[in-house]
């Protein structure tokens, strides 16, 4: 089974701690106080999943300050040190988290929370086997704490142990059935196991429980898109874009689903928004996937380059895949080549840029289906590609290596 690659920030998002407004009075730390800290850390976690990173950081820093002040009056309170360690982990401050974890270990080495914090640090240090042993100890000592089971399940995922991961994540949801993160992780596991229906059910539950959960919306959208349920996928991606408007991957998906629904005006608006993100330096590659569609038994993936660069610049590649294939059996491209333009402009400098519509096969067969003065629209190009695939448009020229 291919290894499930979790987003880098996912472990940090598992954190749940405690917190409330601290009093400067040297009164005992009550259960009510601890529940308040827990609520604040959960709130900060949810803000992260909703892409409200600034608000999350402000809440976490405020929590850390309040707990730090409380520790001045109660320096040996294990729970307060544990809260501060979890807050530091959520703030991506591993050194501070390690210091607070060491204090927890010194004060209460046999408590479940000490094992949990050690497991978290070891997992972040890419020592999942050692982390697993600590997480198991935490669940054994405190079997009714959902986040301990959730971390155990995540570590099993890292070690490519899906059966054990499912058991731990299921147990986490038995303890905390309304935890959106647990449902999301179970959805990722089901997806990795090739169970898309189960995955979608889990992701939809995560969306229901936490409406601002960006990753739940986008993952559910992709599954719905693959099932051909474009209208439902559109709703998922629109929600994600509302929450995180500068995520280019979501804009890419919105181009695709609007194309599938025939919403060409909306498609073009989303493409324009994607190009703007590219101009702002927020897209880390030179192309995007414009469309995926089926034609007969084949799947066609359309790649669009943002810019025409080089001697063999291409605007679109229609990559045609056979069922189950990993490499295209044919590529049809709209390109604009330096040598053609140089020759044409020698004859007539006023000519617009020239474009070729060409098809290529794995045996290096090359067919030309058209030469255009100026760049044809995507819809015109797509229509010609469909005609080629259906045998309705014949090449104007073709070459095959080795042919006499």
- Lowest mean per-residue pLDDT among 89-103, 216-230, 369-383: 89-103
How far is Cα 174 from Cα 287, in angstroms, rounded to an integer? 44
Strands 287-295 and 298-305: antiparallel
How far is Cα 365 from Cα 30, in angstroms, rounded to an integer? 77
- The yes-or-no verdict on residue 255 having pLDDT over 80 is yes
- Report helix, strand or coil for 76: coil
pLDDT of the residue at 400: 78
Strands (E), 207-326: 287-295, 298-305, 312-321
pLDDT of the residue at 402: 62
Report residue 26's pLDDT band, with 50, 70 and 90 as the boundaries. low
pLDDT of the residue at 236: 98
pLDDT of the residue at 203: 98
pLDDT of the residue at 403: 55
- The yes-or-no verdict on residue 108 having pLDDT over 50 is yes
pLDDT in tens, 330-379: 999 999 999 999 998 888 999 999 999 999 999 999 999 999 999 999 99
Q: Output the six-digit token pair for 164.
A: 């054990």
- The yes-or-no verdict on residue 74 having pLDDT over 70 is yes
pLDDT in tens, 265-295: 999 999 999 999 999 999 999 999 999 999 9
pLDDT of the residue at 25: 43
Query: How many other CB atoms are there within 10 angstroms of residue 307's CB atom?
Result: 10
φ and ψ of 349, to 5 deg? -60, -20
Q: Output the six-digit token pair for 95.
A: 């050194």
CA–chain centroid gap for 174, Å, is: 26
Report residue 320's pLDDT band, with 50, 70 and 90 as the boundaries. very high
- Report helix, strand or coil for 332: strand
Q: Output the six-digit token pair for 193.
A: 């196991």
pLDDT in tens, 124-150: 888 989 999 999 999 999 999 999 999
Averaged over 251-257, what is the pLDDT? 98
Q: Which of 314, 286, 287, 318 shows the shortest CA–CA distance to 302?
A: 318
Phi-psi region of 374 (alpha: psi -120 to 50; beta: other; left: phi over 0): left
- Report helix, strand or coil for 125: coil
CA distances from 144 to 14, 78, 138, 140, 209 (A): 16, 19, 10, 9, 21
Report residue 114's pLDDT band, with 50, 70 and 90 as the boundaries. very high
Greatest alpha-carbon pair distance for the chain in Å reads 95
How far is Cα 167 from Cα 135, in angstroms, rounded to an integer? 14
Averaged over 375-393, what is the pLDDT? 97
Averaged over 39-57, what is the pLDDT? 86
In this predicted model, which residue has the larger pLDDT, 94 or 382? 382
pLDDT in tens, 174-189: 999 999 999 999 999 9
Query: How many other CB atoms are there within 10 angstroms of residue 316's CB atom?
Result: 23
CA distances from 113 to 22, 182, 244 (A): 21, 19, 34
3-state DSSP helix/strand/coil percent for the chain, to nearest 5? 55, 15, 30
Query: How many other CB atoms are there within 10 angstroms of residue 296's CB atom?
Result: 9
Q: Which of 21, 20, 23 shows the shortest CA–CA distance to 38?
A: 20
Averaged over 232-237, what is the pLDDT? 98
- Report helix, strand or coil for 184: helix
φ and ψ of 392, to 5 deg? -95, -10
Query: How many other CB atoms are there within 10 angstroms of residue 98's CB atom?
Result: 18
Query: How many other CB atoms are there within 10 angstroms of residue 111's CB atom?
Result: 18
How far is Cα 154 from Cα 160, in angstroms, rounded to an integer? 10
CA distances from 251 to 7, 36, 218, 235 (A): 19, 38, 11, 13
What is the overall mean pLDDT for the chain?
Answer: 90
Question: Does an H or E element contain 372, and which?
Answer: strand 366-373
């Amino acid at each position: 089974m291919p290894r499930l690659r979790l987003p880098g920030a996912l472990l940090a998002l598992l954190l749940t701690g405690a917190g409330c407004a601290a009093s400067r009075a040297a009164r005992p730390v009550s259960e009510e106080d601890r529940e308040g800290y827990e609520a604040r850390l959960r709130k900060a976690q949810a803000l992260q999943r909703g892409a409200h990173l600034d608000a999350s950081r402000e809440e976490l820093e405020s929590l850390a300050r309040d707990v730090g002040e409380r520790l001045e009056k109660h320096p040996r309170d294990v729970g307060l040190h544990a809260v501060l360690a979890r807050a530091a982990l959520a703030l991506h401050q591993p050194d501070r988290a390690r210091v607070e974890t060491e204090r927890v270990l010194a004060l209460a080495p046999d408590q479940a929370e000490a094992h949990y914090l050690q497991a978290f640090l070891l997992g972040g240090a890419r020592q999942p086997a050692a982390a697993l042993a600590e997480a198991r100890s935490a669940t054994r000592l405190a079997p009714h704490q959902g986040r301990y089971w959730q971390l155990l399940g995540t570590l099993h995922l890292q070690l490519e142990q899906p059966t054990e991961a499912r058991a731990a994540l299921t147990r986490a949801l038995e303890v905390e059935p309304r935890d959106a993160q647990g449902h999301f992780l179970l959805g990722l596991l089901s997806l990795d196991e090739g169970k898309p229906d189960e995955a979608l059910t889990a992701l939809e539950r995560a969306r229901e429980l936490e409406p601002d959960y960006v990753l739940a919306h986008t993952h559910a959208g992709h599954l719905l898109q693959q099932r051909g349920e474009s209208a439902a996928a559109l709703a998922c991606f629109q929600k994600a874009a509302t929450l995180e408007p500068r995520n280019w991957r979501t804009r890419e998906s919105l181009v695709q689903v609007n194309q599938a629904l025939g919403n060409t005006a909306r498609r073009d608006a989303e493409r324009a928004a994607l190009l703007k993100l590219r101009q702002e330096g927020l897209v880390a590659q030179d192309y995007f996937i414009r469309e995926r569609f089926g034609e007969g038994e084949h799947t066609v993936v359309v790649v669009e380059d943002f810019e025409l660069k080089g001697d063999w610049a291409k605007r679109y590649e229609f990559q045609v895949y056979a069922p189950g294939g990993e490499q295209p059996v044919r590529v049809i491209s709209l390109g604009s080549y330096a040598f053609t333009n140089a020759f044409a402009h020698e004859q007539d400098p006023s000519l617009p840029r020239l474009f070729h519509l060409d098809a290529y096969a794995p045996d290096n067969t090359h067919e030309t289906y058209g030469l255009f003065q100026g760049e044809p629209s995507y819809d015109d190009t797509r229509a010609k590609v469909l005609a080629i695939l259906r045998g309705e448009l014949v090449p104007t020229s073709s070459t095959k290596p080795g042919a006499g």
